[in-house]
Amino acid sequence: MLYVAYGSNMNLDQMEYRCPKSVVVGVGILKGWKLEFNYHANVYRSDDMHDEVPVLVWDIDDSEWSWLDSYEGFPYYYYKDTVDVWVDGKRKKAIVYVMTDNGMDKKLRSHNTVLPSQSYFSCIEEGYIANGIDTEYLYKVLAENIKVNEELKREGVVR
């Protein structure tokens, strides 16, 4: 079964450790989705079909799904959704993990609220670079996250 990675599972070294039998299918695009950070990376459906998230598509070995589910905190922290992902101009069906309401910081807004740690962000950045994905989008999402976080600080919602 195909799996869409948009966060730390884009990092080849980490996935080699987590799912050594799984293989990269290629770089893909989720159309009509947006990336955000709520401490961890998350994707959510956008109202704008022009929104796109670059992703890494994996063919996950059947024996490794339970390990991946455990790592992602399924079903409490992330749930699974079936999505269309575009790889080499072809639409394919894949599984993606999407953050649940339990994963969101309920004291804050539901999107782009909690900054990722430097090490976590660097892990994702390494995945982008290793897979030949332009990091401009990733930096843009982080900048939006920082802006929202600063607004929340001004409002006294976060410290």
CATH 3.10.490.10 fits 2-154, yes or no: yes
The DSSP secondary structure of 2-42, one letter per residue, reads: EEEE-SGGG-HHHHHHH-TT-EEEEEEEEETEEEEEESEEE
The answer to whether the CB of 94 falls within 8 A of the CB of 55 is no
Please list the ranges in the chain whose pLDDT falls under 70: 103-113, 158-159
pLDDT at 109: 44
Angle between helices 136-154 and 118-130 (to 10 degrees): 160
What are 83-116's pLDDT values in tens digits?
Answer: 999 999 999 999 999 998 876 655 444 555 688 9
Q: What residues does each domain of the chain span?
A: 2-154
Instruction: Note the residue count of the chain.
Output: 159
Measure Cα distances from 90 to 86, 87, 104 in Å: 5, 5, 33
Q: Around Cβ 2, how many Cβ atoms within 10 Å? A: 18
Count Cα atoms within 13 angstroms, Cβ side, for 56.
25
| Confidence (pTM) | 0.91
